[in-house]
Amino acid sequence: MQVYKVGGAVRDRLLGLPVTDVDRVVVGASTEEMLAKGFRPVGADFPVFLDPKTGEEYALARTERKSGRGYGGFTFYASPEVTLEEDLIRRDLTINAMAEDDQLNLTDPYHGQRDLEARILRHVSPAFAEDPLRVLRVARFAARYAGLGFTVADETMDLMRQLSESGELQALTAERSWKEISRALMEDRPQVFIQVLRDCGALKELMPEVDALFGVPQPETHHPEIDTGLHTLSVLEQSSLHKQPLTVRWACLLHDLGKGLTPEEEWPRHIAHEHTGLKLIKAVNERFKAPKDCQELALLVGQYHTHGHRALELKASTLLELLQSFDVYRRPQRFEEFIAACEMDARGRKGLEQRSYPQADYLRGAAKAAREVAVQPLLEQGLKGPELGEALKRERLKALKAYKEAATA
């Protein structure tokens, strides 16, 4: 019985990066032996055990065979006869198919260290094409390591294209897809994830609404980059540079979907794209079963981001409606995330990445003015129910008018 660290722990140590997750493979052991040593079994698909003292995971070396469609369409075989090399060959990329023992002796049958040094993401074997989830995983690794100069090998891209064209991506569950998408959006260069998916044809299969934005022009006055797809990538890039949370990054990705529906004869203008895009944002949200906070913010940003840009021009009554839509009195954080998404949108334009965004502080000030309207005096007047609501609305409108007048004087 031999134990090896495998996958990301080995890869990141060799890259000189912090090692967070450690996967271990046990060679030469059976389920019965692991149980006899006190290990606790977990996982229904293949034999994984928890160390009774440390809680760390140990997986028996195994092979796999394609038996159906999608990520779950595999039959696994684990036994003491399965070698380390047989276990490693079923992995996705060569840089993830290395192992080391406790003395840091490296086992690298598929030249992962060579590809690490060459900064190449390359598949281990043709079996790569049996698992559609690997398209998303490779794009995610490309986003994570783009800053180190990593690119996807041409032959791996070819296999990713084959998978994208095969219809296998449609067999992925919403949960598995969202797990990869959400992790990729939180990488250092999330825009690379979207670009790689587009390059291999996966984006039009998974998010045709986003793919449709590429090649759609916008007015050069506001968008020097012109192309809506490129603008979306830039907004996503800004969201990462400014360390935005997942909710904001998801909203940044989907905020302009309505522009993909504009008839060509109306280009480069996109009248009412904020409203036409809502059904598309809703469809993408539901397709991947995005968390509720991500869904809500994406829809609100899609509908109101141009309000954010025109904040200083808005009438007090429109400003009040905007604040009411976000329920800023009970959910101030959501409005703060909306402001962040608007700022990323403004900065995600060629040559305008460093420009100031005074709308942000103006909107924060407006929210503060509305929130500071006291309810107690109205209650003391005996108001309640709808009457109280209307009176509160009038007082908030009065406060916003005063705020606007002072702020724009």
Q: Is the pLDDT of residue 67 over 50?
A: no
The CATH number given to whatever domain includes residue 154 is 1.10.110.30
User: Do 170 and 192 sit in the same domain of this protein?
Assistant: yes
pLDDT per residue as tens digits for the range 26-62:
998 988 898 898 898 886 666 888 888 888 889 999 8
Give a yes or no: residue 395 inside a domain: no
Over residues 144-170, mean pLDDT: 96
pLDDT per residue as tens digits for the range 118-134:
999 999 999 899 899 99
> How many domains does one find in the chain?
2
**Enclosing domain of residue 24:** 1-118
User: Do 12 and 107 sit in the same domain of this protein?
Assistant: yes
> Residue 243: how many CB atoms within 10 A of its CB?
9
Q: Is the pLDDT of residue 354 over 90?
A: yes
Cis before 377? omega within 30: no
Please give the pLDDT value at position 46.
66
β-pair type (23-27, 57-60): parallel
User: Do 101 and 126 sit in the same domain of this protein?
Assistant: no
**What's the token pair of residue 213?**
């934005």
Give a yes or no: residue 233 inside a domain: no
User: Do 24 and 100 sit in the same domain of this protein?
Assistant: yes
Over residues 279-300, mean pLDDT: 98
Give a yes or no: residue 398 inside a domain: no
Give a yes or no: residue 167 inside a domain: yes
Q: Is the pLDDT of residue 1 over 90?
A: no
Q: What 3-state DSSP class applies to 123?
A: strand
Task: Pick the last residue of a domain from 88, 118, 148.
Answer: 118
pLDDT per residue as tens digits for the range 259-279:
999 999 999 999 999 999 999
What values do phi and psi take at 122, rounded to 5? Answer: -130, 140
User: Do 71 and 21 sit in the same domain of this protein?
Assistant: yes
Task: Tell me the C-alpha to C-alpha distance, in Å, between residue 317 and each of 63, 81, 323, 399, 401.
Answer: 65, 74, 10, 11, 8
133-145 and 154-166 helices, crossing angle to 10°: 140
Please give the pLDDT value at position 273.
96
Model-wide pTM > 0.85: yes
User: Do 108 and 147 sit in the same domain of this protein?
Assistant: no
Please give the pLDDT value at position 69.
52
Distance CA 281, CA 336 (A): 20
pLDDT per residue as tens digits for the range 71-104:
454 466 778 889 999 999 999 999 999 999 999 9
**What's the token pair of residue 99?**
């192992």
Give a yes or no: residue 327 inside a domain: no
On whether the CB atoms of residues 193 and 249 are closer than 8 A, the answer is no
Task: Pick the last residue of a domain from 143, 174, 206.
Answer: 206
Distance CA 354, CA 61 (A): 51
pLDDT grade for 117, boundaries at 50, 70 and 90: very high
The CATH number given to whatever domain includes residue 72 is 3.30.460.10
Give a yes or no: residue 294 inside a domain: no
Q: What 3-state DSSP class applies to 187?
A: coil
User: Do 148 and 107 sit in the same domain of this protein?
Assistant: no
Percent of the chain with pLDDT over 70: 96
User: Do 86 and 180 sit in the same domain of this protein?
Assistant: no
User: Do 105 and 125 sit in the same domain of this protein?
Assistant: no
User: Do 107 and 131 sit in the same domain of this protein?
Assistant: no
* Cα 156 to chain centroid, rounded: 22
Give a yes or no: residue 337 inside a domain: no
Give a yes or no: residue 358 inside a domain: no
Q: Is the pLDDT of residue 68 over 60?
A: no
User: Do 5 and 112 sit in the same domain of this protein?
Assistant: yes
Please give the pLDDT value at position 66.
54
pLDDT per residue as tens digits for the range 139-150:
999 999 999 999
Q: Is the pLDDT of residue 70 over 80?
A: no
User: Do 56 and 145 sit in the same domain of this protein?
Assistant: no
Task: Pick the last residue of a domain from 54, 88, 118.
Answer: 118
Over residues 134-162, mean pLDDT: 97
